[in-house]
Structure 1
Amino acid sequence: MFDLGTSFKASVLRDPNTVAIVDGDTRLTYQQWYRKVSSIVASLDGFGLVNGDHILVVMQNRWEYASLHWACQFRGIIVTPLNWRAKTDEIDYAVTDAHAKAIFYEDATAEAVLSSVEAGKIPNICTNKLHEIMQASAPDAEPHADANDWSLMLYTSGTTSKPKGVPRRHRAERAGALAHVAQNLYRNGEITLGVMPLYHTMGVRSLLASSLTGGTFVCLPRFDAGKAIDLIEQENITNLYLVPTLYHDVVHHPEFTPERVKSVTKLGYAGASMTDGLLKKLNETFAPDLFVNHYGSSEIYTFTIDQKAALKPGSAGRSGINQMIQVAKLGANSPTDLADTREEGEIIASLKGDEAFEGYWNRPEADLKALKDGWYFTGDTGFVDEDGDLFVTGRVDDMIITGGENVSPVEVESFLSLHPNVDEVAVVGLPDERWGQLVTAFVKKNGEITSEQLDQYCRGSNLANFRRPRQFIFVKNIPKSPVGKVLRRMLVAGDYTPE
């Protein structure tokens, strides 16, 4: 299999005059971009970097960052990106944990980087320096890595413990990108909105897939729904691959109209479950040719794919082309202890797939918990229906146990999202002396609605009585991570603003 440097060079040879990347006024063809990337490759030795070294990147989705990513693939250097909002202590941790040999940053992240004690011990390179480097001429870069070398190390979110590094090889990264192209039916010349952050697996996959198809990657450094709509219209974006939260913000923006996004023919989402209400709205307003629900993780890019997401709301589909998935019984320690049809359990994925990681970075205790007999225990809960389709119901840690019954927050959220006066909703279990946990819905309103009316809405439905929220709390916003995942732990901790 190609390493990623060779893969990029092949793209340049195929489509030298096609626009490869757009960022504001910057528009570069593949040949022009290759020259910029080659200049960075030539400079990396000057920073004392060699094959197998880690660099930290604390930048937004800029063309400079994308160029650096490709340069590292040529040079055999491991890109280790952090959330551009990372605090000083998070940078200190990552520098030490990854044994980083340099850190790249921009103006928006300079304060945190320059305040980091550990970052101060290694070369700090800002975007201004990258611009200088890319102005210099250099010979066309040749790959210094092979398919078995490390390409990338993403950090998990670390909501309950220190973030875990997920190192991935060139071959796994390219396999994930090829699967992404195939499973989303991308054609040559796709134009992608590059807004999912490049510290997230979805952002990296969009970047790599764009190259494989001779496509154009249109940078949006940080998400803004109005700017996203403008770029879709101006650049004739053909596909979107976003988390549900970003879709929600786009279709609810006052300047959104179906006419402005008519160039988009393919929708894909991942990173979190999508409520039935949002799924329905997107299908009606975009009327896409293809609507894909992609379920996966940083560790293994693809678990399952559903290419007809709107036809079976809630379904995550079936195993991707590089994967096999099963559902083990809750608490199982063996991949042979499987749940029955429609029995909720823990989703597990084969580690034999081309996209799979091989274990966490220096975290043997995490490997022991998650990797068992050739299977990755995801920590996600779900079940398989009679058709063989997977339904993801949440996280093992998010499961609500009320009066001895298991309640999945996702099912209740999807139901409540269909109410016309509910904008967003998150369901958690709050401590209760009698029930153990009380099913509680935090609601951001989209009109006038009361707790009593929502309770009657639930009582008049097919929602099982034990799943019915016993408490409704109206809030100004639902807390989310930078990539749009609902932070239920903050709601449980009382960290929210009541309406």
Structure 2
Amino acid sequence: MLFPLTFEQSVARTPDRPAVVHLNDGTAMTYSELQTRAYQVANALRERGLEPTDRVAICMANRPEHVVTFLATQLAGLVAVPFNFRLAPSGVRYHIRDADPELFLFDDVSRESVTSVADDIEVPMVHVGDDTPSFAEPFEAFSDAPADDLGVDVSYEDPSVMLYSSGTTGDPKGIPLDHNATFSRWMINSLGQHYYLNETMIGVMPLYHTVGLHGILCGLLSMSGTYLCMSEFDPAIAVRAIEEHEVSALHEAPTIFANMLDTELIEEVDLSSVQTIGYSGAPMSQSVFERTIETFDPDHIANLYGTTEVYGTLAYDDLHEIRDPTVTGPANVGLEVRVVTVGSEDPADTVDPGTQGELIVNTDSPVAFEGYWNKPEATEEAITDGWLYTGDAARRTAENRVIITGRVDDMIISGGENIHPTEVEDVLLTHPGIDDVGIVGHPDEEWGEVVVAFVEESGGVTEAELDQWCRDSDDLADYKRPREYRFVDELPRNPSGKIERYKLESRGEE
């Protein structure tokens, strides 16, 4: 009972239901049509010499061709290797050389970067879009293959997909996952997020990320859901689609919710179909959290936590009563977590509730990876006695919920005191003149490090005003307040919405 079969069951159950709708251009496929197209591409891949377990690299936005290609790899026993479609040329080159695929598909969003390094890529390439370059084959050629079931049976241990870490602190690492993990991730995630049959969701979370791929796409296609993909995010289109397609669930990064809430249409459309809301990838501010609840009025709203290595980690308590957007739940079904002393190599060295530590996850779970691609040293460093050290700083509440406070490496040590950036950011984000803020530590001869705030502001707020705001806050000790403010047009964030603090830290000498 793996993903290829659960998709086939959806086709049998709801052949005429819309499976994929492209919100940017309106194209759509029913389950029956998606199955036919996926069979064609799967046969085309086999006709080009690809055999089970061969890797297929995919550098495409969230579009129907990406969905079809991924599904085709799963039906043909191949391994999908999706990666960031907005990478610079050097990033494209790195991923292709590291993954060593048998075929590489790209679209117009990644075309410029791919073209720049095409001479360095000794892999057959397929282009999705108009005016295919001379070094690639057009995706339309795959339509000539027969739409026959290949009859490939995959096992739990067979490779399914290889995802890549974000690489914000070094080269991205390949994370191979077998079919057991692909099935278990969508299943456990659906349990945690209260997803059921026939959900309709907007697919903004990228398909090269486990949330977008497993949590949303695989779950929907396994349970007769409708995937509304967006290759280019437009908040107005997304908001209009909620009413038009009766969207029942939303899982987005906090910045996506903020963008939708700021559209004029948000007051005009019927949002009553939305029953479940989840957010992940970055902290949600209290103001966006409250506006989200007030505007959408969901039955269930949750803060979700997981990693590419071990997805669906923390179960998702409803936050209506808790009213704290930083809280996640305890370990999800089929998972075990602990919070241990920072720097300890003993998985049993847990800390008391309320004490900051590092979150670790037991890899004896069907959703877990077994190690990084061709990087045994990195695997050995990350896993100790079967526990993945996530690098995320966390603390448990008295109710056994977990609060992620940042990255262990992001901790600021000022005058011997530990300061987590998110606790300062949470206070500053309550100021009405701040749109966004990123906190880092910069070297200081007297204190070792001092807190520096990079601020996206609106309304002409001053450094003095923000300093007084922090002094007046009951939630921030004086030694944690920023000693310097720098006003910026935009904070650097990775595709998952997380602040790239290392880019802010590099501005220390400016």
TM over 0.5: same fold? yes
Q: What aligned pairs does 1:9-158 form with structure 2 within 5 A after superposition?
A: 9-23=8-22, 24-117=25-118, 120-127=121-128, 129-134=138-143, 136-158=145-167
Aligned to 1:357: 369
In 1, Cα distance between equivalents of 2:166 and 2:113: 19
Cα deviation, residue 47, structure 1: 2.0
Q: Could you list the per-position Cα deviations for residues 268-301 of structure 1 after superposition, in whole angstroms to 9, with x for gaps in the alignment?
A: 1111222222212211222211101110010000
1:278 aligns with 2:279: no
Aligned to 2:7: 8
Q: What aligned pairs does 1:170-209 form with structure 2 within 5 A after superposition?
A: 170-205=179-214, 206-209=216-219
Cα deviation, residue 448, structure 1: 3.5
What one-letter code is carried by the residue in structure 1 that aligns with 2:83?
L
Verify the 8 A CA contact 1:360 1:366 in the aligned structure 2: yes
Verify the 8 A CA contact 2:93 2:121 in the aligned structure 1: no
Cα deviation, residue 78, structure 1: 0.9
Deviates more, 1:54-63 or 1:132-141: 132-141
1:431 aligns with 2:436: no
Q: What aligned pairs does 1:320-469 form with structure 2 within 5 A after superposition?
A: 320-462=332-474, 463-469=476-482
Q: Could you list the per-position Cα deviations for residues 38-87 of structure 1 after superposition, in whole angstroms to 9, with x for gaps in the alignment?
A: 10111111222111111111111010110110110011111111111122
Cα deviation, residue 474, structure 1: 2.0
Cα deviation, residue 495, structure 1: 9.1
- What are the ranges of 5 or more consecutive residues in structure 2 without an aligned counterpart? 130-137
1:488 aligns with 2:501: yes
In 2, Cα distance between equivalents of 1:280 and 1:447: 21
Verify the 8 A CA contact 1:381 1:394 in the aligned structure 2: yes
What SS does structure 1 have at the residue aligned with 2:20? strand
In 2, Cα distance between equivalents of 1:71 and 1:118: 27
What SS does structure 1 have at the residue aligned with 2:142? helix
Number of equivalenced pairs: 496
In 2, Cα distance between equivalents of 1:260 and 1:474: 37
In 2, Cα distance between equivalents of 1:435 and 1:266: 46
Cα deviation, residue 419, structure 1: 1.7
Pick closer, same or farther for the CA change 1:316–1:136 going to 2, 3 Å: same
What SS does structure 1 have at the residue aligned with 2:378? helix
In 2, Cα distance between equivalents of 1:52 and 1:368: 25
Question: TM-score, normalised to structure 2's length?
Answer: 0.93
What SS does structure 1 have at the residue aligned with 2:348? coil
1:268 aligns with 2:278: yes
Any runs of at least 4 consecutive aligned residues in structure 1 with deviations exceeding 6 A, and if so which? none
Question: TM-score, normalised to structure 1's length?
Answer: 0.95
Cα deviation, residue 219, structure 1: 0.9
Q: Percent identity?
A: 34
Cα deviation, residue 355, structure 1: 0.7
Q: Could you list the per-position Cα deviations for residues 303-324 of structure 1 after superposition, in whole angstroms to 9, with x for gaps in the alignment?
A: 2123323424121221111211
What one-letter code is carried by the residue in structure 1 that aligns with 2:167?
G
Q: Could you list the per-position Cα deviations for residues 410-444 of structure 1 after superposition, in whole angstroms to 9, with x for gaps in the alignment?
A: 11111211122221111111221211111122221
In 2, Cα distance between equivalents of 1:339 and 1:155: 31
Q: Could you list the per-position Cα deviations for residues 199-245 of structure 1 after superposition, in whole angstroms to 9, with x for gaps in the alignment?
A: 11111021001112211001111222222223223222221111112
RMSD (Å) for aligned C-alpha atoms: 1.9
In 1, Cα distance between equivalents of 2:421 and 2:79: 37
Deviates more, 1:105-114 or 1:384-393: 105-114
Q: Could you list the per-position Cα deviations for residues 247-266 of structure 1 after superposition, in whole angstroms to 9, with x for gaps in the alignment?
A: 12221234432745333221
1:256 aligns with 2:263: no
In 2, Cα distance between equivalents of 1:61 and 1:293: 23
Verify the 8 A CA contact 2:314 2:332 in the aligned structure 1: yes
What one-letter code is carried by the residue in structure 2 that aligns with 1:244?
P
Pick closer, same or farther for the CA change 1:231–1:475 going to 2, 3 Å: same
